[in-house]
Chains A and B, each alone.
Chain A
Amino acid sequence: MSYSFKWSVLWSGQSGHWLLQGLLTTLELSALAWLLAVVLGILSGALRTVHFRPLRWLATSYVEFFRNVPLLVWMFFWYFGVPPLLPRGVQDWLFNHGAEFWAGMLALGVYHGARMSEVIRSGIQSIPRTQFEASLAMGLTTFQAYRLIILPVALRLIVPPATNESLNLLKNSSVALTISVAELTFQTRQIETYTAKAIEALTAGTLIYLVLCLSIATIMGRVERRFAIPGLIARVGPAA
């Protein structure tokens, strides 16, 4: 009367094909959402540190609004809440052309953008104020100072927490299955439906997520070493 494992369900029938499809959808969804999150994060993270109060206020409201509502709610918001605001014809077109995927991408990207923003703000605020003042003294405009001096330094400082955030984003992409996006977790459930072998299917999904996340962490580790600013942070060995 014990559970009998049957690992062959993972490569017999269509399982392998489904896992691959799920993996691709997860990667596609996460990559697009990540790009959106990074753009929104840099933008609002930078705006939260500028002098001009209305811009700061705008960025702060974005961050606080989007990071303090559960991701699941955002999924429903973009899928069920937004389309009724559009004309019927546009709605139908969207629903026939993967509205689920795009709603999931927006939910994930905008939500993680708000979280990424805080990471980037902390990077910016860790840079001595004098650097910004020195840039202005050199004749740069505020925009130039951010683009050429502040952000390039801040982005190098925040690689470890940004990696963390990126891994979270990848794993959170599974929430999109609630709005019918056939990503990796969805496909592992599908295998379970067909074979009634839940533990095997979940194990496969778990290992794929693990390998994905480890790969990302490794790549980001390289990026961190490659772009570390010599002298700014003592990464390894005794400080000079």
Chain B
Amino acid sequence: MKKTIAVVLMLAVVLAGGGPVLAQQDTLEKIKSTGMLTIGTRTGSPPFAYINKNNEWVGFTIDLVEMLVKPSVEKAVGKSIKIEKKESTPPTRIPLLTSNAVDLIAGTMTDTPQRRESVDFSLTFFYTGAQFLVKKGSAIKSINDIGGKRIAAQQGSTNAKIIREKYPQAQLREFPDQPAAFQALAQGQVDAYTNDGIQLFGLKAKAPSPNDWDVVGDFYSEEPYGMAMRKGDAKFKAAVDAGLKNGFESGKYFEIYDKWFGANGEVPYPMTPQVKAYLLKQVGK
């Protein structure tokens, strides 16, 4: 038994002492030497990042990276680069970043003060708030109706946290990804699925019969989306922000927005003047 304890202690020391080993190299240097920018993104979050019917990995956020961030990073490293995409989910995205497995999280990640202690965020590239997806005709019309009801949320999301803390009378069920949560809603394991409003619109648009579903309730949270990077890498952050800033200023960003969220886009979701003002304020406009 003494031996066992010694082994456990040794392991603990090794893990705790792992700090210096995780010291990171400069991301731009890494991109320059590999010629590759690795992004962590989603496979099931239309229209931000998902696998479409033709089996292509596409989406709004992916376009932002391809058309705005990539040129800016290329300029910073002085050579052309390739984008490599990896799947990242709310529970895995920060570990993927800190372990250098990916360089940039470009999916549907909300910029929060807690997360800012561990990672840096780019400029906000989308703004939404949490709502509920329900079957048409459901008794749930807003967050005031969820008492005693079974509410699905995504594990590790900001919405789950809010429901747990502020609405303990609801029965929270947390699923690792969107398809499982939607399956639970479709089958009646849960009465509503809460997530950022835009994602629910995306899910509804992609559902077999979109008219069976409603997105209800006012935003009960604020969800500004940002791209996340390893903390303290100022040069890389400057390159990513410059790309987005250029997009806002040149109007390219709004073209991409229109492609995905315009009247003929994947998920029609016209930008409100407030959101537009919010986004432009970041670049001093």
Contact = CB atoms under 8 A, between A and B. Distances in A.
User: Which of B156, B183, B233 has the most A CB atoms < 10 Å from its CB?
Assistant: B156
A31 interface: no
B6 interface: no
B277 interface: no
Contacts of A91: 188
B164 to A, nearest CB: 9
A88 B119 CA distance: 46
A218 B161 CA distance: 39
5 contacts: A2-B22, A178-B175, A180-B175, A196-B94, A202-B95
Contacts of A180: 152, 173-175, 184
B189 A83 contact: yes
A84 B173 CA distance: 18
A137 interface: no
B187 A210 contact: no
Contacts of B176: 177-178
Contacts of B231: 1
User: Which of A91, A190, A198, A210 has the most B CB atoms < 10 Å from its CB?
Assistant: A198
Contacts of A88: 188
Given A194-B161, A199-B95, A95 B156 contact: no
User: Which of A3, A83, A198 has the most B CB atoms < 10 Å from its CB?
Assistant: A3
Contacts of A4: 19
B114 A196 contact: yes
A189 B104 CA distance: 21
Interface residues of A, number: 42
B118 A203 contact: no
B23 A193 contact: no
Contacts, number: 104
A96 B187 contact: no
A7 B18 CA distance: 13
A93 to B, nearest CB: 12
A5 interface: yes
Interface string B1-38: 10010001001100110111011101000000000000
Given A2-B24, A3-B98, A180-B152, 16 more contacts: A1-B230, A1-B232, A1-B233, A79-B189, A80-B183, A95-B188, A95-B190, A178-B176, A186-B174, A190-B155, A190-B156, A192-B156, A193-B160, A193-B161, A196-B119, A199-B95
A210 B176 CA distance: 24
A79 to B, nearest CB: 7
A5 B187 contact: no
Interface in A187-217: 189-190, 192-199, 202-203, 206-207, 210-211, 214
B24 A1 contact: yes
A218 B24 contact: no
B118 A197 contact: yes
A231 B270 CA distance: 81
Interface in A132-150: none
A3 B156 contact: no
B91 interface: yes
Given A5-B19, A80-B187, A203-B15, A196 B8 contact: no
A1 B232 CA distance: 5
Interface string B198-241: 00000000000000000000000000000000111100000000
Nearest to B95: A198
B285 to A, nearest CB: 31
Interface in A78-92: 79-80, 83-84, 88, 91-92
